[in-house]
């Protein structure tokens, strides 16, 4: 039988490191908001001739759009140019200038333009949605763990796992965003909420098995019960994540475009969620049960195993 729980402090270390890097990135780069949240214009173009991202950025700076963000997107060779809100004339002028510099567009460009009024409503509603989702998940966790021996322990650990996933996703996204000029949009929020829902139910399945094994009384040692439950549910946890991962990967490779951010969020989220429901949430339960908190602070050797 694998000993998953025994290596619990390694998991905390790994997660801690990833989250730390992510939080630093968040503090330095932040999560820049897209036009849906802060108003502005996006022009998506593809040129007949191949154009380098650097050349495009240089040209835009020359045209007075030094603060424009350029993102490569699907289909291959397409660029997404994000600027402050442009008037109709400015938009037409920009397209004409780009044509003058790089030749004709391959197909018609796409564009999007969001006013400040819409952007502020979107911000408000997104915050409300996240708050309601958090409340809904909290209620659900309370309800799902009502049968557990210590509902508070289980619920808290599930929520820590969920916050863990959200932090990992935001942190890594912030790093990717800083490199690829990505901004967060509504689909990013959608992705985060989907990941949270996904992560919680993975944790619930594992915890449900712990509860079942506790009632069956397969061992007197809580750590052993948790470990056995984990091993029993391991192939389920991994396989479900794998099938979802496969389809999301197919999405990333073939679709991308305006759901690119969203697909990346799902990919990071599925990995983080799988890790947290197998490694973090159950480990926390054991740490709590063994009252091992001191080891976090002093990094002491684990106490000799219980009988």
Partner 1 sequence: MSRTNIIVLALILVIFVLGLWVLIPLEAERFGRSDLRKGLDLVGGVHLVYQADFENIEPEDQPAVMERALIIIQNRIDKYGVLEPIIQQLGDDRILVQLPGFTDIDAAKSLVEQTGYLEFREVELNGGQPATLNDYLEQTDLQFIDASEPDERIFVRTNELGENETVALLKYKDGAYYFEDPAGNTVAADSLSAYAASVSWIRARGDDGTPLTGDLLADAYLSTGQQSQIQVAIEWDDVGSIIFDQLALRLHDPAGQNGPYKLEHVLGIFLDNTLLSAPKVNSAKFEGEGVITGSFTLAEAEELANLLKSGALPMPLVQPPLFEEKVSATLGAQFIEMSWLAGLIGIILVMVFMVAYYRLPGLVSAVALVFYGVLMLALFKLIPVTLSLAGIGGFIVSIGMAVDANVLIFERLKEELRSGRTLGAAIETGFKRAWSAIWDSNVTTIIVCIILYWLGSSIVASAPVMGFALTLGIGVVVSMFTAIVVTRTLLRILIHSGMVRHLALFSISRGKQ
Among 114, 170, 285, 287, binds partner 1 (CB under 8 A): 114
Question: How near is the Cβ of 29 to partner 1 at its closest, in Å?
Answer: 24
Tokens linked to 282? 């159950």
Binding segment (CB under 8 A) for partner 1, from list 17-25, 163-171, 198-206, 281-289: 198-206
Q: Does 166 bind partner 1 (CB under 8 A)?
A: no
Q: Does 1 bind partner 1 (CB under 8 A)?
A: no
Q: Which of residues 3-32 bind partner 1 (CB under 8 A)?
A: none
Question: How near is the Cβ of 194 to partner 1 at its closest, in Å?
Answer: 6
Q: Does 48 bind partner 1 (CB under 8 A)?
A: no
Among 235, 294, 300, 303, binds partner 1 (CB under 8 A): 235
**Which residue, 175 or 251, is less far from partner 1 as judged by CB?**
251
Binding segment (CB under 8 A) for partner 1, from list 47-55, 73-81, 166-174, 293-301: 73-81
Question: How near is the Cβ of 286 to partner 1 at its closest, in Å?
Answer: 21
Q: Quickly list DSSP for the chain.
A: ---SGGGHHHHHHHHHHHHHHHHHHHHHT---B-HHHH-EEEEEEEBSS---HHHHHHHHHHTT-TT-EEEEETTTTEEEEEESPPPHHHHHHHHHHHHHHH--BSS--EEEEE-HHHHHHHHHHHHHHHHHHHHHHHHHHHHHTTTSSSHHHHHHHHHHHHHHHHHHHHHHHHHHHHHHT--B-HHHHHHHHHHHHHHHHHHHHHHHHHHHHHHHT--S-HHHHHHHHHHHHHHHHHHHHHHHHHHHHHHHHHT-GGGHHHHHHHHHHHHHHHHIIIIIHHHHHHHHHHT-HHHHHH-PPPPPPP-
Q: Does 55 bind partner 1 (CB under 8 A)?
A: no
Q: Does 228 bind partner 1 (CB under 8 A)?
A: no
Buried b (16+ CB within 10 A) or exposed e, 90-113: ebeebeebbeebbeeeeeebeeeb
Among 12, 140, 163, 289, binds partner 1 (CB under 8 A): 140
Q: Does 198 bind partner 1 (CB under 8 A)?
A: yes
**Which residue, 22 or 269, is less far from partner 1 as judged by CB?**
269
Distance CA 282, CA 61 (A): 52
Among 4, 31, 98, 126, binds partner 1 (CB under 8 A): 126
Angle (CA) 204 154 227, round 5°:
70
Distance CA 304, CA 306 (A): 6
Q: Does 133 bind partner 1 (CB under 8 A)?
A: yes
Question: How near is the Cβ of 242 to partner 1 at its closest, in Å?
Answer: 7
Mark residues 256-275: x for contact with partner 1 by CB under 8 A, - for none. -xxx--xx--x---------
- The contact set with partner 1 (CB under 8 A) reads 36, 44, 74-75, 78, 87-88, 92, 107-115, 117-118, 121-122, 125-126, 128-129, 132-133, 136-137, 140, 144, 186-187, 189-190, 193-194, 196-198, 200-202, 204-205, 208, 232-233, 235-236, 239-240, 242-248, 250-251, 253-255, 257-259, 262-263, 266
């Amino acid at each position: 039988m694998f000993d998953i729980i025994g290596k619990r402090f390694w998991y905390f270390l790994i997660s801690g490191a990833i989250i730390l890097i992510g939080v630093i990135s968040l503090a330095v780069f932040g999560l820049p908001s897209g036009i849906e949240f802060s108003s502005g214009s996006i022009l998506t173009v593809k040129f007949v001739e191949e154009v380098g991202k650097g050349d495009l950025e240089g040209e835009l700076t020359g045209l007075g759009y030094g603060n424009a963000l350029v993102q490569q997107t699907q289909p291959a060779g397409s660029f997404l140019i994000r600027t402050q809100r442009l008037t109709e004339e400015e938009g037409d002028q920009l397209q004409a200038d780009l044509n003058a510099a790089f030749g004709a567009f391959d197909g018609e460009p796409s564009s999007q333009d969001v006013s400040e009024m819409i952007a502020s409503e979107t911000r408000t509603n997104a915050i409300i949605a996240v708050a309601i989702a958090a409340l809904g998940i909290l209620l659900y966790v309370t309800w799902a763990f009502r049968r557990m021996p210590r509902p508070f322990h289980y619920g808290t650990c599930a929520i820590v796992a969920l916050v863990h996933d959200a932090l990992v996703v935001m942190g890594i996204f912030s790093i990717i965003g800083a490199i690829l000029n990505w901004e967060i949009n509504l689909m990013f929020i959608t992705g985060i909420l989907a990941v949270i829902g996904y992560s919680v139910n993975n944790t619930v399945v594992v915890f449900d098995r712990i509860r079942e094994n506790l009632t069956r009384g397969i061992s007197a040692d809580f750590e052993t019960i948790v470990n056995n439950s984990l091993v029993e549910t391991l192939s389920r946890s991994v396989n479900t994540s794998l099938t979802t991962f496969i389809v999301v990967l197919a999405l990333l490779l073939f679709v991308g475009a305006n759901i690119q951010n969203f697909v990346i969020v799902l990919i990071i989220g599925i990995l983080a969620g799988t890790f947290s429901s197998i490694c973090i949430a159950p480990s926390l339960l054991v740490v709590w049960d063994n009252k091992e908190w001191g080891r976090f602070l002093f990094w002491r050797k684990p106490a000799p195993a219980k009988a």
